[in-house]
Copies of this chain bind each other. A is one copy, B any other.
Amino acid sequence: MSTKTPVTLKLLAQKLKISISTVSKALNDYPTINAYTKERVKQMAAELHFTPNKSALNLQIQKSYTIGIILPDLMDHYFTRSIFGIEQHARQYGYNVIIGQSYDDLKKEVDLANMLLKSRIDGLIIAISKNTQNFDHLDMFENLGLPIIYYGRNPSFNLSCHKVLSNTYQGCYKATDFLIKRGHQRVAYLGGPKMISFTHDRFKGYINALNDNQIPFDASLVAYTDFDKENTNSAIKELFYKSENPPTALVAFKEQILFDAMKYLRANHYEKMDQTDFIGFGNMPFIRYLDNPPLASIEENPESMGENAIKLLLKLIDQKTEATEYQEVMVDCELVLHS
């Protein structure tokens, strides 16, 4: 049964001695086609394993039923989980998904964007790379009337665009508030790189939680680090060893940072380790393997982010009216306890 050449409408038409249009319409259940004919066509199609050629279809209907995703890195569970939300929903509505990794490299991001443009995707969901300042490669999509959803990472300068972000302010507020309510008077905040807007949003959550609980702000309880281990270690030294009155709890920008911090403290046998509570953003799956997991995680619900992003995108694709104002969706964070 080795066919070697793809089965087309033409072939079906020849076999059945009817026209190509009839075959096409039969398969698409046109009411004008005779029931018996439909039956014959469908049976033959099944028998020969006919699969419509997507390229021909796309060309004809001027729609690819494909959406593009650009994200920095699949190794990051945050993004991998977000794909889950996107893919599920997209496939359900007949859309395919092309995923591209930018590796936080602007050049790669531009290449991917051009590639997706060639593929005539119907819309784009993107978590921009760290150093994306120039948006020319993305404006191309807008010019063609193709919707873009920015998700996960906030395009720093207030670009007017559709956004789906996690409510990172709220996440940090919840964590800080929870720690205070648990009895902590000295809660520290370990922020991420200062260029990232989330660092500041989270800081606001931290501050507001302090205020709402009538706890005075203490600048010596705040430090920043990037994702480099050495950097984190010195920030921790600053927070825990420089002060005569060290924090009894810590909220960290990301669990990657938190775990480095905890490991450092434990390696240095920080004496009050057992009385100190730790919370970070992430809720990474391998926490289950840690001997001493942090007290809790701030779960950003990336699946839900992905789902919101794809839902908004499909809505925009469908209406095709570009005149809608820009949407901004905030996905709630929640606290997940580990102990």
Contact = CB atoms under 8 A, between A and B. Distances in A.
A99 B100 CA distance: 10
A339 B1 CA distance: 57
Q: How many copies does the complex hold?
A: 2
Query: Chain A interface: which size bin?
Result: 35 or more
Contact of A140 (B4, B49, B52, B140): B49
Given A80-B75, A99-B99, A263-B289, A4 B143 contact: yes
A5 B120 CA distance: 12
A75 B81 contact: yes
A59 B55 contact: yes
Contact of A75 (B77, B98, B99): B77
A94 to B, nearest CB: 10
A46 interface: no
Nearest to A292: B291
Interface stretch (A20-28, A110-118, A125-133): A110-118
Nearest to A229: B288
Contact of A55 (B51, B81, B98, B120): B120
A234 interface: no
Contact of A145 (B4, B97, B120): B4
Contacts of A52: 118
A87 interface: yes
B54 A56 contact: no
Contacts of A99: 99
Interface in A49-75: 49, 51-56, 58-59, 64, 74-75
A108 to B, nearest CB: 9
A80 B256 CA distance: 18
A98 B101 contact: no
Contacts of A292: 291
A111 B52 CA distance: 15
Contact of A53 (B77, B120, B291): B120
Interface in A72-107: 74-75, 77, 80-81, 83-84, 87, 91, 96-99, 101
A51 B118 contact: yes
A6 interface: yes
Contacts of A64: 55
Which of A119, A229, A256 lies at the interface centre, i.e. has the most chain B CB atoms within 10 A of its CB?
A119
Given A55-B55, A260-B288, A267-B291, 6 more contacts: A2-B143, A54-B119, A80-B80, A99-B99, A256-B289, A291-B291
Interface of A: 1-6, 49, 51-56, 58-59, 64, 74-75, 77, 80-81, 83-84, 87, 91, 96-99, 101, 111, 114-115, 117-120, 140, 143-145, 229, 256, 259-260, 263, 266-267, 284-286, 288-292
12 contacts: A4-B143, A54-B55, A55-B56, A80-B80, A84-B101, A91-B111, A96-B98, A97-B98, A99-B99, A229-B288, A267-B291, A290-B290
